[in-house]
Amino acid sequence: MKRLALASAALSVLFLAACATTPSADDAGLRPSQPAAVEAPEEGRSGYGLFLAGQAAQADGQNEEAFDYFSKAQIAGAEATSLKQRSFQTALFAGDVQKAAQLAPAEGEGPVVIVRLGLLTKAVDALASGDGATAKAIMIDQGVGFPHRQAAVLFAPWAAAAGGDMDAAVTRPVLRGDRLVEVFGLLNQALLFEHFKRYDEAETNYKILMSYGEASAIFAPDYGAFLERRKRGPEAVAVYDAALKVRRNDPALTAARARAAARKKPPAMTTLKQGGARALLIPASAMSAEKQYGLALAYLRLSARLDSSRDELWVEIGDAYTGMEDAENARAAYARIGTASREYATARSRLAWSFQAAGESEAALKMAADGAAGGDRDGLVTYADILRANERYAESAKLMDQVIAIDGEAADWRLFYMRAISRERSGDWPGAEADLQKALAMQPDEPELLNYLGYSWIDRGERLGEAMAMVQKAVAANPRSGPMIDSLGWAYFRMGDYRNAVEHLERAAMLEPADPEINDHLGDAYWQVGRQIEARFQWNRVLQLKPNATIKAKAEEKLAKGLTGVKPVVAQRQ
Protein backbone atom coordinates (compact mmCIF):
# COMPACT_ATOMS: atom_id res chain seq x y z
CA MET A 1 0.00 0.00 0.00
CA LYS A 2 1.24 3.47 -0.82
CA ARG A 3 1.70 5.44 2.37
CA LEU A 4 0.14 8.90 2.19
CA ALA A 5 0.86 9.71 5.81
CA LEU A 6 3.71 12.13 5.16
CA ALA A 7 2.43 15.55 6.19
CA SER A 8 4.24 18.71 5.14
CA ALA A 9 6.34 20.51 7.67
CA ALA A 10 8.56 23.56 7.60
CA LEU A 11 11.94 22.15 6.58
CA SER A 12 13.82 24.23 9.12
CA VAL A 13 17.01 23.40 10.94
CA LEU A 14 16.53 20.99 13.84
CA PHE A 15 18.55 22.15 16.78
CA LEU A 16 17.91 21.93 20.49
CA ALA A 17 18.31 18.81 22.57
CA ALA A 18 15.41 17.36 24.51
CA CYS A 19 14.29 19.32 27.53
CA ALA A 20 14.25 18.08 31.09
CA THR A 21 11.27 15.89 31.93
CA THR A 22 8.41 17.67 33.61
CA PRO A 23 5.03 16.50 34.89
CA SER A 24 2.24 16.13 32.39
CA ALA A 25 -0.45 18.77 32.19
CA ASP A 26 -2.89 16.39 33.81
CA ASP A 27 -0.47 15.60 36.67
CA ALA A 28 0.21 19.28 37.09
CA GLY A 29 -3.48 19.96 37.52
CA LEU A 30 -3.50 22.36 34.59
CA ARG A 31 -5.99 20.50 32.43
CA PRO A 32 -9.24 19.91 34.31
CA SER A 33 -10.59 16.40 34.32
CA GLN A 34 -13.97 15.88 32.68
CA PRO A 35 -16.61 16.13 35.39
CA ALA A 36 -19.99 14.53 35.20
CA ALA A 37 -22.34 16.48 32.95
CA VAL A 38 -24.35 19.08 34.84
CA GLU A 39 -27.16 21.34 33.84
CA ALA A 40 -26.61 25.06 33.67
CA PRO A 41 -27.36 26.54 37.11
CA GLU A 42 -30.64 28.27 37.65
CA GLU A 43 -31.08 31.40 39.69
CA GLY A 44 -30.55 30.60 43.35
CA ARG A 45 -28.68 27.31 42.75
CA SER A 46 -26.28 26.28 45.53
CA GLY A 47 -22.62 27.19 45.57
CA TYR A 48 -21.74 23.57 44.86
CA GLY A 49 -23.97 23.52 41.79
CA LEU A 50 -22.29 26.65 40.52
CA PHE A 51 -18.92 25.06 41.22
CA LEU A 52 -19.87 21.98 39.14
CA ALA A 53 -21.08 24.19 36.33
CA GLY A 54 -17.75 26.00 36.43
CA GLN A 55 -15.92 22.68 36.21
CA ALA A 56 -17.99 21.69 33.20
CA ALA A 57 -17.33 25.01 31.45
CA GLN A 58 -13.61 24.78 32.23
CA ALA A 59 -13.40 21.24 30.85
CA ASP A 60 -15.09 22.49 27.68
CA GLY A 61 -12.51 25.26 27.24
CA GLN A 62 -14.97 28.03 28.13
CA ASN A 63 -12.64 29.74 30.58
CA GLU A 64 -14.43 33.08 30.84
CA GLU A 65 -17.74 31.35 31.52
CA ALA A 66 -16.02 29.06 34.03
CA PHE A 67 -14.53 32.02 35.85
CA ASP A 68 -17.98 33.60 36.09
CA TYR A 69 -19.44 30.42 37.63
CA PHE A 70 -16.59 30.10 40.13
CA SER A 71 -16.99 33.73 41.17
CA LYS A 72 -20.71 33.21 41.77
CA ALA A 73 -19.98 29.98 43.64
CA GLN A 74 -17.63 31.85 45.98
CA ILE A 75 -20.37 34.38 46.70
CA ALA A 76 -22.80 31.51 47.32
CA GLY A 77 -20.46 30.00 49.90
CA ALA A 78 -18.83 27.05 48.18
CA GLU A 79 -15.53 25.76 49.61
CA ALA A 80 -13.09 28.67 49.33
CA THR A 81 -9.71 27.00 48.79
CA SER A 82 -10.76 24.83 45.87
CA LEU A 83 -12.65 27.72 44.31
CA LYS A 84 -9.67 30.04 44.58
CA GLN A 85 -7.47 27.51 42.85
CA ARG A 86 -10.04 26.93 40.08
CA SER A 87 -10.66 30.63 39.64
CA PHE A 88 -6.92 31.26 39.36
CA GLN A 89 -6.56 28.62 36.64
CA THR A 90 -9.52 29.77 34.59
CA ALA A 91 -8.51 33.43 34.81
CA LEU A 92 -5.00 32.53 33.64
CA PHE A 93 -6.22 30.33 30.78
CA ALA A 94 -8.64 33.06 29.72
CA GLY A 95 -5.73 35.51 29.54
CA ASP A 96 -6.76 37.70 32.50
CA VAL A 97 -3.34 37.61 34.14
CA GLN A 98 -4.09 40.57 36.42
CA LYS A 99 -7.07 38.75 37.93
CA ALA A 100 -5.09 35.50 38.08
CA ALA A 101 -2.35 37.25 40.06
CA GLN A 102 -4.92 38.46 42.57
CA LEU A 103 -6.34 34.95 42.92
CA ALA A 104 -3.02 33.07 43.03
CA PRO A 105 -3.23 30.50 45.85
CA ALA A 106 -0.82 30.84 48.74
CA GLU A 107 1.16 28.03 50.36
CA GLY A 108 -1.25 25.35 51.53
CA GLU A 109 -4.10 26.56 49.31
CA GLY A 110 -3.49 24.14 46.47
CA PRO A 111 -1.04 21.69 44.89
CA VAL A 112 2.55 22.90 44.87
CA VAL A 113 2.57 23.12 41.05
CA ILE A 114 -0.33 25.58 41.16
CA VAL A 115 1.10 27.58 44.07
CA ARG A 116 4.43 27.99 42.28
CA LEU A 117 2.71 28.90 39.04
CA GLY A 118 0.86 31.51 41.08
CA LEU A 119 4.17 33.00 42.22
CA LEU A 120 5.40 33.17 38.61
CA THR A 121 2.10 34.81 37.64
CA LYS A 122 2.47 37.45 40.36
CA ALA A 123 6.01 38.23 39.21
CA VAL A 124 4.98 38.56 35.57
CA ASP A 125 2.06 40.80 36.45
CA ALA A 126 4.31 42.95 38.63
CA LEU A 127 6.77 43.45 35.77
CA ALA A 128 3.91 44.21 33.38
CA SER A 129 2.57 46.79 35.85
CA GLY A 130 5.94 48.50 36.25
CA ASP A 131 6.62 47.10 39.71
CA GLY A 132 10.10 45.75 39.09
CA ALA A 133 10.93 45.55 42.79
CA THR A 134 8.14 43.02 43.43
CA ALA A 135 9.01 41.01 40.32
CA LYS A 136 12.65 40.85 41.44
CA ALA A 137 11.73 39.96 45.02
CA ILE A 138 9.67 36.97 43.87
CA MET A 139 12.05 35.66 41.22
CA ILE A 140 15.43 36.38 42.83
CA ASP A 141 14.90 36.65 46.59
CA GLN A 142 12.13 34.03 46.90
CA GLY A 143 12.49 31.93 43.74
CA VAL A 144 10.09 29.66 41.85
CA GLY A 145 10.82 25.95 42.00
CA PHE A 146 10.03 22.72 40.18
CA PRO A 147 8.24 22.10 37.82
CA HIS A 148 8.54 25.70 36.66
CA ARG A 149 12.33 25.98 36.98
CA GLN A 150 12.94 26.24 33.24
CA ALA A 151 10.52 29.15 32.88
CA ALA A 152 11.74 30.73 36.12
CA VAL A 153 15.48 30.75 35.35
CA LEU A 154 14.89 32.25 31.90
CA PHE A 155 12.48 34.91 33.16
CA ALA A 156 14.31 35.80 36.40
CA PRO A 157 17.10 37.93 34.82
CA TRP A 158 14.51 40.24 33.27
CA ALA A 159 12.75 40.62 36.62
CA ALA A 160 16.13 41.35 38.25
CA ALA A 161 16.90 44.02 35.66
CA ALA A 162 13.51 45.63 36.27
CA GLY A 163 14.27 45.61 40.01
CA GLY A 164 17.61 47.32 39.50
CA ASP A 165 19.80 44.31 40.31
CA MET A 166 22.32 44.35 37.44
CA ASP A 167 24.50 41.59 38.87
CA ALA A 168 21.58 39.13 39.04
CA ALA A 169 20.31 40.29 35.65
CA VAL A 170 23.53 39.52 33.78
CA THR A 171 24.29 36.28 35.60
CA ARG A 172 23.86 33.59 33.00
CA PRO A 173 21.01 31.18 33.87
CA VAL A 174 22.02 27.60 34.61
CA LEU A 175 19.87 24.49 34.85
CA ARG A 176 21.87 21.27 34.87
CA GLY A 177 21.37 19.14 31.76
CA ASP A 178 19.00 21.62 30.11
CA ARG A 179 20.31 22.56 26.67
CA LEU A 180 17.42 24.95 26.12
CA VAL A 181 18.36 27.06 29.14
CA GLU A 182 22.05 26.87 28.24
CA VAL A 183 21.57 28.28 24.74
CA PHE A 184 18.72 30.73 25.23
CA GLY A 185 20.21 31.84 28.53
CA LEU A 186 23.22 32.93 26.48
CA LEU A 187 20.93 34.92 24.18
CA ASN A 188 19.08 36.56 27.07
CA GLN A 189 22.39 37.46 28.68
CA ALA A 190 23.53 39.11 25.43
CA LEU A 191 20.35 41.16 25.25
CA LEU A 192 20.74 42.26 28.88
CA PHE A 193 24.43 43.09 28.42
CA GLU A 194 23.34 45.47 25.67
CA HIS A 195 20.65 46.92 27.96
CA PHE A 196 23.36 47.78 30.50
CA LYS A 197 25.66 49.12 27.72
CA ARG A 198 28.16 46.30 28.12
CA TYR A 199 28.53 45.95 24.38
CA ASP A 200 31.75 43.93 24.18
CA GLU A 201 30.32 41.25 26.47
CA ALA A 202 27.10 41.18 24.45
CA GLU A 203 29.05 40.63 21.24
CA THR A 204 31.08 37.84 22.82
CA ASN A 205 27.85 36.00 23.51
CA TYR A 206 26.57 36.58 19.99
CA LYS A 207 29.78 35.19 18.50
CA ILE A 208 29.36 32.04 20.56
CA LEU A 209 25.79 31.71 19.26
CA MET A 210 27.05 32.23 15.70
CA SER A 211 29.40 29.27 16.18
CA TYR A 212 26.49 26.81 16.33
CA GLY A 213 26.65 25.99 12.63
CA GLU A 214 23.33 25.94 10.79
CA ALA A 215 21.47 26.54 14.06
CA SER A 216 23.09 29.97 14.29
CA ALA A 217 20.48 31.18 11.78
CA ILE A 218 17.99 31.22 14.67
CA PHE A 219 20.00 33.97 16.39
CA ALA A 220 21.08 35.93 13.31
CA PRO A 221 18.22 38.48 13.57
CA ASP A 222 19.30 39.40 17.10
CA TYR A 223 23.00 39.67 16.29
CA GLY A 224 22.33 41.52 13.05
CA ALA A 225 20.08 44.04 14.79
CA PHE A 226 22.75 44.53 17.49
CA LEU A 227 25.32 45.28 14.79
CA GLU A 228 22.94 47.67 13.05
CA ARG A 229 22.44 49.58 16.30
CA ARG A 230 26.25 49.80 16.59
CA LYS A 231 26.27 51.36 13.07
CA ARG A 232 28.04 48.31 11.61
CA GLY A 233 25.67 47.73 8.70
CA PRO A 234 28.01 45.80 6.37
CA GLU A 235 28.77 43.29 9.14
CA ALA A 236 25.05 42.92 9.78
CA VAL A 237 24.46 42.23 6.08
CA ALA A 238 27.11 39.49 6.22
CA VAL A 239 25.36 37.90 9.21
CA TYR A 240 22.01 37.95 7.41
CA ASP A 241 23.56 36.53 4.22
CA ALA A 242 25.04 33.60 6.13
CA ALA A 243 21.69 32.88 7.77
CA LEU A 244 19.86 33.07 4.44
CA LYS A 245 22.04 30.26 3.10
CA VAL A 246 20.41 28.05 5.74
CA ARG A 247 16.92 29.57 5.83
CA ARG A 248 16.44 30.39 2.17
CA ASN A 249 13.76 32.97 1.37
CA ASP A 250 13.01 33.55 5.05
CA PRO A 251 10.91 36.75 4.94
CA ALA A 252 12.15 38.16 8.25
CA LEU A 253 15.81 37.65 7.35
CA THR A 254 15.26 38.97 3.83
CA ALA A 255 13.61 42.12 5.20
CA ALA A 256 16.37 42.58 7.80
CA ARG A 257 19.06 42.28 5.14
CA ALA A 258 17.35 44.86 2.93
CA ARG A 259 17.03 47.23 5.89
CA ALA A 260 20.69 46.87 6.83
CA ALA A 261 21.89 47.23 3.24
CA ALA A 262 19.85 50.42 2.84
CA ARG A 263 21.10 51.72 6.20
CA LYS A 264 17.59 52.33 7.41
CA LYS A 265 16.73 52.78 11.07
CA PRO A 266 17.49 49.53 12.97
CA PRO A 267 15.04 47.85 15.36
CA ALA A 268 14.93 49.31 18.84
CA MET A 269 16.71 47.50 21.64
CA THR A 270 14.61 44.89 23.41
CA THR A 271 12.71 46.31 26.38
CA LEU A 272 12.60 44.48 29.70
CA LYS A 273 8.95 43.56 29.18
CA GLN A 274 9.63 42.30 25.66
CA GLY A 275 12.62 40.31 26.87
CA GLY A 276 10.61 38.72 29.67
CA ALA A 277 7.81 37.87 27.27
CA ARG A 278 10.22 36.25 24.84
CA ALA A 279 11.93 34.32 27.64
CA LEU A 280 8.60 32.70 28.52
CA LEU A 281 8.00 31.67 24.91
CA ILE A 282 10.96 29.28 25.11
CA PRO A 283 9.58 26.95 27.84
CA ALA A 284 6.11 27.32 26.33
CA SER A 285 7.38 25.93 23.02
CA ALA A 286 9.17 23.14 24.88
CA MET A 287 5.99 22.19 26.74
CA SER A 288 4.01 22.12 23.50
CA ALA A 289 6.66 19.89 21.93
CA GLU A 290 6.24 17.51 24.86
CA LYS A 291 2.44 17.70 24.48
CA GLN A 292 2.06 19.34 27.89
CA TYR A 293 -0.40 21.84 26.53
CA GLY A 294 -1.79 23.08 29.85
CA LEU A 295 1.60 24.33 31.00
CA ALA A 296 2.32 25.69 27.52
CA LEU A 297 -0.91 27.71 27.52
CA ALA A 298 -0.20 29.07 31.02
CA TYR A 299 3.25 30.32 29.99
CA LEU A 300 1.91 31.75 26.74
CA ARG A 301 -0.75 33.74 28.57
CA LEU A 302 1.95 35.11 30.88
CA SER A 303 4.05 36.05 27.86
CA ALA A 304 1.07 37.86 26.32
CA ARG A 305 0.64 39.91 29.51
CA LEU A 306 4.10 41.37 28.90
CA ASP A 307 3.96 41.72 25.12
CA SER A 308 0.87 40.69 23.16
CA SER A 309 2.14 42.22 19.91
CA ARG A 310 4.19 39.19 18.81
CA ASP A 311 2.14 37.32 16.23
CA GLU A 312 4.09 34.10 16.73
CA LEU A 313 2.72 34.13 20.28
CA TRP A 314 -0.84 33.83 18.96
CA VAL A 315 0.18 31.03 16.63
CA GLU A 316 1.56 29.16 19.64
CA ILE A 317 -1.56 29.84 21.69
CA GLY A 318 -3.59 28.41 18.85
CA ASP A 319 -1.29 25.39 18.71
CA ALA A 320 -1.70 24.80 22.46
CA TYR A 321 -5.49 24.90 22.15
CA THR A 322 -5.27 22.57 19.16
CA GLY A 323 -3.29 20.14 21.30
CA MET A 324 -6.00 20.38 23.94
CA GLU A 325 -8.58 19.58 21.21
CA ASP A 326 -10.24 22.96 21.67
CA ALA A 327 -10.80 23.98 18.05
CA GLU A 328 -12.93 27.02 18.88
CA ASN A 329 -10.30 28.78 20.98
CA ALA A 330 -7.52 27.65 18.63
CA ARG A 331 -9.26 29.23 15.66
CA ALA A 332 -9.88 32.43 17.61
CA ALA A 333 -6.15 32.70 18.34
CA TYR A 334 -5.12 32.07 14.73
CA ALA A 335 -7.74 34.54 13.47
CA ARG A 336 -6.12 37.39 15.43
CA ILE A 337 -3.27 37.54 12.92
CA GLY A 338 -3.84 40.04 10.13
CA THR A 339 -2.89 39.96 6.47
CA ALA A 340 0.10 42.29 6.93
CA SER A 341 1.79 39.96 9.40
CA ARG A 342 4.67 37.66 8.49
CA GLU A 343 2.80 35.00 10.46
CA TYR A 344 -0.35 35.34 8.35
CA ALA A 345 0.44 32.42 6.04
CA THR A 346 1.28 30.22 9.04
CA ALA A 347 -1.95 31.15 10.83
CA ARG A 348 -4.05 30.50 7.72
CA SER A 349 -2.31 27.14 7.31
CA ARG A 350 -3.18 26.19 10.88
CA LEU A 351 -6.78 27.29 10.33
CA ALA A 352 -6.92 25.25 7.14
CA TRP A 353 -5.85 22.06 8.89
CA SER A 354 -8.28 22.75 11.73
CA PHE A 355 -11.19 22.91 9.28
CA GLN A 356 -9.87 19.93 7.29
CA ALA A 357 -9.71 17.81 10.46
CA ALA A 358 -13.32 18.77 11.18
CA GLY A 359 -14.42 17.65 7.71
CA GLU A 360 -15.09 21.22 6.55
CA SER A 361 -13.13 20.92 3.32
CA GLU A 362 -14.42 24.08 1.60
CA ALA A 363 -13.41 26.26 4.55
CA ALA A 364 -10.07 24.45 4.71
CA LEU A 365 -9.38 25.10 1.05
CA LYS A 366 -10.29 28.79 1.39
CA MET A 367 -8.00 29.27 4.38
CA ALA A 368 -5.15 27.47 2.63
CA ALA A 369 -5.65 29.56 -0.51
CA ASP A 370 -5.54 32.74 1.60
CA GLY A 371 -2.26 31.63 3.17
CA ALA A 372 -0.70 30.91 -0.22
CA ALA A 373 -2.02 34.01 -1.98
CA GLY A 374 1.07 36.10 -1.27
CA GLY A 375 3.45 33.44 -2.56
CA ASP A 376 4.67 32.42 0.90
CA ARG A 377 6.62 29.22 0.44
CA ASP A 378 5.19 27.36 3.47
CA GLY A 379 1.73 28.63 2.60
CA LEU A 380 2.10 27.06 -0.85
CA VAL A 381 3.16 23.75 0.72
CA THR A 382 0.12 23.75 2.98
CA TYR A 383 -2.25 24.59 0.13
CA ALA A 384 -0.74 21.76 -1.94
CA ASP A 385 -1.24 19.40 1.01
CA ILE A 386 -4.86 20.45 1.53
CA LEU A 387 -5.59 20.05 -2.18
CA ARG A 388 -4.05 16.58 -2.08
CA ALA A 389 -6.10 15.69 1.01
CA ASN A 390 -9.21 16.64 -0.99
CA GLU A 391 -8.11 14.55 -4.00
CA ARG A 392 -7.39 17.57 -6.21
CA TYR A 393 -4.10 16.06 -7.25
CA ALA A 394 -3.30 17.92 -10.49
CA GLU A 395 -3.67 21.31 -8.75
CA SER A 396 -1.55 20.09 -5.86
CA ALA A 397 1.24 19.00 -8.24
CA LYS A 398 1.29 22.42 -9.92
CA LEU A 399 1.71 24.16 -6.56
CA MET A 400 4.57 21.82 -5.70
CA ASP A 401 6.21 22.89 -8.97
CA GLN A 402 6.32 26.42 -7.55
CA VAL A 403 7.70 25.32 -4.18
CA ILE A 404 10.47 23.24 -5.77
CA ALA A 405 11.34 26.16 -8.03
CA ILE A 406 11.57 28.47 -5.01
CA ASP A 407 13.92 26.10 -3.17
CA GLY A 408 16.01 25.34 -6.25
CA GLU A 409 19.02 23.13 -5.60
CA ALA A 410 18.21 23.11 -1.88
CA ALA A 411 14.84 21.39 -2.45
CA ASP A 412 14.35 18.61 0.08
CA TRP A 413 13.50 15.03 -0.90
CA ARG A 414 10.13 15.36 0.84
CA LEU A 415 9.04 17.94 -1.73
CA PHE A 416 9.69 15.55 -4.60
CA TYR A 417 7.88 12.81 -2.68
CA MET A 418 4.84 15.01 -2.13
CA ARG A 419 4.76 16.01 -5.79
CA ALA A 420 5.17 12.36 -6.83
CA ILE A 421 2.07 11.39 -4.85
CA SER A 422 0.01 14.08 -6.54
CA ARG A 423 1.38 13.27 -9.98
CA GLU A 424 0.72 9.55 -9.61
CA ARG A 425 -2.81 10.10 -8.32
CA SER A 426 -3.58 12.49 -11.19
CA GLY A 427 -2.46 9.94 -13.78
CA ASP A 428 1.03 11.24 -14.50
CA TRP A 429 3.00 8.07 -13.74
CA PRO A 430 6.16 9.04 -15.68
CA GLY A 431 6.41 12.30 -13.73
CA ALA A 432 5.69 10.53 -10.43
CA GLU A 433 8.27 7.83 -11.13
CA ALA A 434 10.92 10.45 -11.94
CA ASP A 435 10.19 12.31 -8.70
CA LEU A 436 10.29 9.14 -6.61
CA GLN A 437 13.60 8.09 -8.12
CA LYS A 438 15.05 11.56 -7.55
CA ALA A 439 13.89 11.55 -3.92
CA LEU A 440 15.28 8.04 -3.44
CA ALA A 441 18.63 9.11 -4.86
CA MET A 442 18.69 11.85 -2.21
CA GLN A 443 17.47 9.59 0.62
CA PRO A 444 18.22 5.98 -0.43
CA ASP A 445 17.22 4.29 2.85
CA GLU A 446 13.95 6.15 3.49
CA PRO A 447 11.28 3.45 4.11
CA GLU A 448 8.37 5.52 2.81
CA LEU A 449 10.10 6.11 -0.51
CA LEU A 450 11.17 2.48 -0.83
CA ASN A 451 7.63 1.36 -0.07
CA TYR A 452 5.85 3.83 -2.34
CA LEU A 453 8.00 3.24 -5.41
CA GLY A 454 8.25 -0.50 -4.77
CA TYR A 455 4.49 -0.84 -4.36
CA SER A 456 3.87 1.22 -7.50
CA TRP A 457 6.12 -1.02 -9.59
CA ILE A 458 4.51 -4.14 -8.08
CA ASP A 459 1.00 -2.89 -8.76
CA ARG A 460 1.97 -2.10 -12.35
CA GLY A 461 3.75 -5.43 -12.82
CA GLU A 462 7.10 -3.75 -13.43
CA ARG A 463 10.61 -4.47 -12.11
CA LEU A 464 9.20 -6.98 -9.62
CA GLY A 465 12.49 -8.33 -8.32
CA GLU A 466 13.85 -4.87 -7.55
CA ALA A 467 10.47 -3.74 -6.20
CA MET A 468 10.17 -6.78 -3.92
CA ALA A 469 13.63 -6.07 -2.46
CA MET A 470 12.68 -2.43 -1.85
CA VAL A 471 9.45 -3.31 -0.05
CA GLN A 472 11.21 -5.98 2.04
CA LYS A 473 13.78 -3.36 3.07
CA ALA A 474 10.98 -0.95 4.03
CA VAL A 475 9.22 -3.63 6.12
CA ALA A 476 12.49 -4.53 7.84
CA ALA A 477 12.83 -0.89 8.88
CA ASN A 478 9.18 -0.67 10.00
CA PRO A 479 8.08 -4.18 11.01
CA ARG A 480 4.83 -2.92 12.56
CA SER A 481 3.74 -0.75 9.63
CA GLY A 482 0.46 -2.09 8.27
CA PRO A 483 0.74 -0.21 4.94
CA MET A 484 4.26 -1.49 4.32
CA ILE A 485 3.38 -5.08 5.19
CA ASP A 486 0.40 -4.69 2.87
CA SER A 487 2.81 -3.74 0.08
CA LEU A 488 4.79 -6.92 0.69
CA GLY A 489 1.63 -9.01 0.78
CA TRP A 490 0.44 -7.43 -2.46
CA ALA A 491 3.79 -8.19 -4.06
CA TYR A 492 3.28 -11.88 -3.28
CA PHE A 493 -0.27 -11.62 -4.65
CA ARG A 494 0.88 -10.07 -7.92
CA MET A 495 3.48 -12.82 -8.33
CA GLY A 496 0.88 -15.56 -7.72
CA ASP A 497 2.12 -16.63 -4.26
CA TYR A 498 -1.32 -16.39 -2.68
CA ARG A 499 -0.53 -18.28 0.55
CA ASN A 500 2.24 -15.85 1.43
CA ALA A 501 -0.04 -13.01 0.34
CA VAL A 502 -2.75 -14.11 2.78
CA GLU A 503 -0.25 -14.41 5.63
CA HIS A 504 1.13 -10.90 5.19
CA LEU A 505 -2.18 -9.25 4.35
CA GLU A 506 -3.84 -10.73 7.45
CA ARG A 507 -1.03 -9.25 9.53
CA ALA A 508 -1.41 -5.87 7.82
CA ALA A 509 -5.17 -5.90 8.48
CA MET A 510 -4.56 -6.65 12.16
CA LEU A 511 -2.28 -3.62 12.38
CA GLU A 512 -4.59 -1.33 10.34
CA PRO A 513 -8.10 -2.80 10.73
CA ALA A 514 -9.86 0.35 9.48
CA ASP A 515 -7.90 0.74 6.23
CA PRO A 516 -10.19 0.04 3.23
CA GLU A 517 -7.37 -0.71 0.76
CA ILE A 518 -5.71 -3.28 3.03
CA ASN A 519 -9.03 -5.02 3.64
CA ASP A 520 -9.72 -5.01 -0.10
CA HIS A 521 -6.37 -6.66 -0.80
CA LEU A 522 -7.03 -9.28 1.88
CA GLY A 523 -10.39 -10.09 0.28
CA ASP A 524 -8.68 -10.63 -3.07
CA ALA A 525 -6.12 -12.95 -1.51
CA TYR A 526 -8.82 -14.96 0.29
CA TRP A 527 -10.67 -15.40 -3.01
CA GLN A 528 -7.58 -16.76 -4.73
CA VAL A 529 -7.03 -19.43 -2.06
CA GLY A 530 -10.67 -20.54 -2.19
CA ARG A 531 -11.91 -18.76 0.95
CA GLN A 532 -14.74 -17.02 -0.89
CA ILE A 533 -17.05 -16.41 2.09
CA GLU A 534 -14.24 -14.62 3.91
CA ALA A 535 -13.39 -12.70 0.73
CA ARG A 536 -16.94 -11.36 0.46
CA PHE A 537 -16.88 -10.46 4.16
CA GLN A 538 -13.73 -8.36 3.55
CA TRP A 539 -15.20 -6.61 0.50
CA ASN A 540 -18.37 -5.82 2.45
CA ARG A 541 -16.18 -4.46 5.23
CA VAL A 542 -14.41 -2.23 2.70
CA LEU A 543 -17.72 -0.51 1.91
CA GLN A 544 -18.20 0.30 5.60
CA LEU A 545 -14.78 1.97 5.93
CA LYS A 546 -15.36 5.06 3.74
CA PRO A 547 -13.17 4.02 0.78
CA ASN A 548 -12.38 6.36 -2.08
CA ALA A 549 -14.48 6.10 -5.23
CA THR A 550 -12.07 3.75 -7.03
CA ILE A 551 -11.80 1.21 -4.21
CA LYS A 552 -15.54 1.39 -3.59
CA ALA A 553 -16.39 0.66 -7.24
CA LYS A 554 -14.00 -2.30 -7.35
CA ALA A 555 -15.36 -3.77 -4.11
CA GLU A 556 -18.94 -3.47 -5.35
CA GLU A 557 -18.05 -5.17 -8.64
CA LYS A 558 -16.31 -8.04 -6.85
CA LEU A 559 -19.27 -8.53 -4.54
CA ALA A 560 -21.50 -8.80 -7.62
CA LYS A 561 -19.29 -10.95 -9.85
CA GLY A 562 -16.45 -12.32 -7.74
CA LEU A 563 -12.78 -11.73 -8.56
CA THR A 564 -12.07 -12.37 -12.22
CA GLY A 565 -9.24 -11.88 -14.67
CA VAL A 566 -6.37 -12.15 -12.17
CA LYS A 567 -3.14 -13.02 -13.96
CA PRO A 568 0.01 -13.32 -11.87
CA VAL A 569 2.99 -11.43 -13.24
CA VAL A 570 5.90 -13.86 -13.41
CA ALA A 571 8.34 -12.18 -15.81
CA GLN A 572 9.59 -8.70 -14.96
CA ARG A 573 8.98 -5.92 -17.44
CA GLN A 574 12.03 -3.70 -17.22
With a cut of 50, say whether residue 5 has pLDDT above it. Answer: no
**DSSP per-residue string spanning 113-147:** HHHHHHHHHHHHHHHHTT-HHHHHIIIIII---TT
- Same domain? For 472 and 417 the reply is no
> What is the arithmetic mean of pLDDT over 391-396?
95
Q: Are residues 385 and 412 in the same domain?
A: no
Per-residue confidence (pLDDT) for residue 459, from 0 to 100 = 83
Same domain, 432 and 382: no
Which domain CATH number covers 552? 1.25.40.10
What is the domain range of residue 191? 179-270
**Domain boundary pick from 424, 444, 464:** 444
3 state SS for 109-120: CCCHHHHHHHHH
Q: What is the rounded CA–CA span in Å between residue 57 and residue 40?
A: 10
If DSSP codes are grouped into helix, strand and coil, which group holds residue 90? helix
Q: What is the pLDDT of residue 47?
A: 43
Please check whether residue 92 lies inside any domain of the structure. Answer: no
Q: Is the pLDDT of residue 22 over 70?
A: no
108: in domain: no
- Kindly tell me if the per-residue pLDDT of 39 is higher than 70: no
- pLDDT surpasses 50 at 42: no
Residue 523 and residue 463 in one domain = yes
What pLDDT, on the 0 to 100 scale, is given for residue 174?
87
- Please tell me whether residues 362 and 409 are part of one structural domain: no
Instruction: Compute CA 210 distance to the chain's CA centroid, rounded to the nearest angstrom.
Output: 26
495-516 average pLDDT score: 95
Using a pLDDT cut of 70, give the percent of the chain over it: 85
Arithmetic mean of pLDDT over the chain: 86
Last residue of a domain, one of 270, 289, 304: 270
Whole-angstrom CA distances from 351 to 114, 360, 390, 399 are: 32, 11, 16, 19
For range 335-345, the mean pLDDT: 90
Q: Do the Cβ atoms of 145 and 113 come closer than 8 Å? A: no
Q: Do the domain assignments include residue 245?
A: yes
Whether the per-residue pLDDT at 572 is higher than 50: the answer is no
Same domain, residue pair 549 and 481: yes
Given a cut of 90, whether residue 53 has pLDDT beyond it is no
CATH code at position 247: 1.25.40
How many residues are given for the chain?
574
* Phi and psi based region of residue 484 (left: phi greater than 0; alpha: psi -120 to 50; beta: remaining): alpha
Distance of CA 208 to the CA centre of its chain: 29
484 plus 410 within the same structural domain: no
Residue 63 forms part of a structural domain: no
pLDDT for residue 242 is more than 90: yes
Going by the DSSP 8-state scheme, the letter that residue 573 receives in this structure is B
Tell me, yes or no, whether 148 lies in a domain: no
pLDDT at 410: 85
Q: Do 538 and 551 belong together in one domain?
A: yes
Do 450 and 572 belong together in one domain? yes
pLDDT at 9: 32
Residue 442 neighbours by CB under 8 Å, 6+ apart: 412, 413, 416
Q: Do 518 and 570 fall into the same domain? A: yes
**Among 51, 549, 95, CA closest to 308:** 95
366-384 pLDDT, tens digit per residue, is 999 999 998 888 899 999 9
Do 545 and 431 fall into the same domain? Answer: no
In a domain, 405, yes or no: yes
Q: Is the pLDDT of residue 23 over 90?
A: no
Tell me the average pLDDT across 471-478. Answer: 94
Q: Tell me the pLDDT tens digit for each residue of 162-220.
A: 999 999 999 998 888 899 999 999 999 999 999 999 999 999 999 999 999 988 999 99
Last residue of a domain, one of 270, 288, 306: 270
What would the pLDDT profile of 56-84 be if each residue is shown by its tens digit? Answer: 555 555 555 655 655 554 544 444 556 77
Instruction: Give CA separation, 563 vs 513, 534, 549, in Å.
Output: 22, 13, 18
Residue 152 placed within a domain: no
- Residue range 314-334: mean pLDDT, rounded: 94
Q: How many domains does the chain have?
A: 4
**Model confidence band, residue 3 (pLDDT cutoffs 50, 70, 90):** low
Q: Does 343 reside within a domain?
A: yes
pLDDT in the model for residue 316: 96
- The pLDDT value recorded for residue 59 is 55
381 plus 407 within the same structural domain:
no
Determine the pLDDT at residue 66: 52
DSSP 8-state assignment for residue 462: B
Residue 2 has pLDDT above 80, yes or no: no
